[in-house]
């Protein structure tokens, strides 16, 4: 039995460990993302080239959890699986080189989540630490939804005409919205380009896709640009949604062109229509007033003639 002096401190690992100093380019974990079906058997791999490190550990982070749970580890060529996971997972390989995590029979949704490997060692030397691989995201497809991936529908919505109307002031911003809907599962990432160049400033994307019982998953991303950039009709704004179909990431794209800057002088079509309608209304009012005035004149003359006729008789 291995004396797990150092490992006792990493049986339950907070999430921030794997997003900070504990990540290492010397630890390679594959695959990075994976789709599986219930009852299917899959395998994850982890390798490292760190001298004197002789243990590879495997952790699970279930959906909604913030900590990693130890599944098992391989010390040199000696495998150990925690009692809670025996019969569900298995481990094998050589902790000094490469080890494997075997999911013996996928369950849905129990096995959904992220899996991480870590290279460590059996020593009391506190100056060294475990190093984690990049992780594997696993989704076990729900047979009640679909037995295969469903691709997204992508649309780019143009900015509202009521948002920051001054096209000359580039301190004002216009917001484009990219919407991806109807996909399953939620293995997606969103990026923006302007005229073929990647854009990162002004981009805000939902932290995760949102589930809707009717439309599967959806996700939105927003791009805020200076008003002058939007009001350049030669500019092309592109949104790309990378979707994992079970084998590879496939891009799905949508684009819109910039708008013409609103005119600040001269006669636009909108102004012309408004002015024409105003002129027609003014003409109608003028005719009505003239007719009414003419009617009063006729009545007045008629009354005047009547009075004159009585006077001469």
Q: Where are the beta strands (DSSP E) in 37-186?
A: 42-48, 55-62, 67-75, 78-81, 89-94, 98-103, 113-120, 131-132, 136-140, 153-157, 173-183
Q: Could you give the CA distance from residue 46 to residue 99 in angstroms, rounded to a whole number?
A: 5
Q: How far apart are CA 152 and CA 219, in angstroms?
A: 10
**Alpha helices for 142-249 (secondary structure H):** 227-230
Gap between the terminal Cα atoms of the chain: 144
Domains 7-140 and 153-257 share a fold: yes
Tell me if 29 sits within 8 A of 117, measured CB to CB. Answer: yes
Contacts of 275 (CB under 8 A, 6+ apart): 267
Q: How far apart are CA 107 and CA 93, in angstroms?
A: 24
CA distance 194 to 236: 6
pLDDT the model gives residue 236: 98
Phi then psi for 169, rounded to 5 degrees?
-95, 105
Rounded Cα gap, residues 156 and 183, in angstroms: 16
Residues 59/163, Cβ–Cβ less than 8 Å? no
pLDDT in tens, the chain (313 residues): 333 434 433 444 444 344 333 556 789 999 999 999 999 999 999 999 999 899 999 999 998 888 899 999 999 999 999 999 999 999 999 999 999 999 999 999 999 999 999 999 876 555 568 899 999 999 999 999 999 999 999 999 999 988 876 655 667 899 999 999 999 999 999 999 999 999 999 999 999 999 987 779 999 999 999 999 999 999 999 999 999 999 999 999 999 999 987 765 444 444 545 555 665 665 565 566 666 656 665 555 566 666 555 444 4
Q: Distance between CA atoms of 126 and 160, rounded to whole angstroms?
A: 58
- Each residue of 203-231: pLDDT tens digit? 999 999 999 877 799 999 999 999 999 99
Superfamily for the 7-140 domain: Immunoglobulins (2.60.40.10)
Q: What is the rounded distance in angstroms from the CA atom of residue 235 to the CA atom of residue 255?
A: 10
Residue of 170, 239, 230, 232 lying closest to 204 (CA atoms)? 239
Residues 65, 12: Cα–Cα separation, whole Å: 12
- Whole-number pLDDT of residue 171: 75
Place of tokens 């490469």: 98
Contacts (Cβ under 8 Å, ≥6 apart) of 213: none
Q: Are 206 and 221 in contact (CB under 8 A)?
A: yes
Supply 105's token pair: 């029979």
Instruction: Look at the chain and count its residues.
Output: 313
Domain boundaries defined on the chain: 7-140, 153-257
- Longest CA span, the chain: 144
Backbone angles phi, psi at 304, to 5 degrees: -65, -40
Decide if 113 contacts 138 (C-beta within 8 A): yes
Query: CATH class for domain 153-257?
Result: mainly beta
């Amino acid at each position: 039995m291995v004396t797990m002096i150092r490992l006792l401190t990493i049986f339950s690992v907070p999430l921030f460990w794997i997003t900070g100093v504990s990540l290492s380019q010397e630890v390679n974990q594959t695959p990075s993302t994976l789709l599986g079906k219930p009852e299917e058997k899959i395998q994850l791999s982890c390798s490292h080239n760190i001298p004197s490190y002789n243990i590879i550990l495997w952790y699970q982070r279930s959906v909604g959890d913030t900590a990693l749970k130890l599944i098992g580890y391989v010390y040199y060529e000696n495998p150990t699986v925690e009692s809670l996971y025996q019969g569900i997972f298995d481990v094998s390989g050589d902790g000094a080189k490469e080890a494997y995590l075997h999911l013996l029979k996928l369950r849905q949704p129990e096995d959904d989540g992220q899996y991480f490997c870590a290279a460590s060692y059996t020593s009391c030397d506190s100056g060294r630490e475990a190093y984690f691989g990049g992780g594997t995201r696993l989704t076990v497809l729900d047979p009640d939804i679909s037995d295969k991936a469903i691709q997204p529908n992508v649309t780019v919505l143009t900015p509202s005409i009521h948002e920051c109307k001054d096209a000359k002031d580039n301190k004002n911003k216009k917001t484009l919205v990219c919407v991806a809907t109807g996909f399953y599962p939620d293995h997606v990432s969103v990026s923006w380009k302007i005229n073929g160049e990647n854009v990162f400033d002004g981009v805000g994307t939902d932290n995760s896709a949102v589930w809707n019982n009717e439309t599967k998953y959806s996700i939105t991303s927003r791009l805020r640009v200076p008003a002058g950039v939007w009001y350049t009709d030669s500019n092309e704004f592109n949104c790309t949604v990378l979707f994992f179909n079970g084998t590879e990431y496939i891009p799905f794209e949508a684009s819109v062109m910039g708008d013409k800057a609103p005119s600040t002088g001269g006669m636009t079509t909108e102004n012309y229509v408004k002015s024409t309608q105003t002129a027609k209304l003014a003409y109608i009012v003028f005719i009505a007033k003239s007719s009414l005035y003419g009617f009063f004149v006729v009545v007045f003359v008629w009354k005047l003639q009547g009075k004159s006729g009585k006077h001469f008789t």
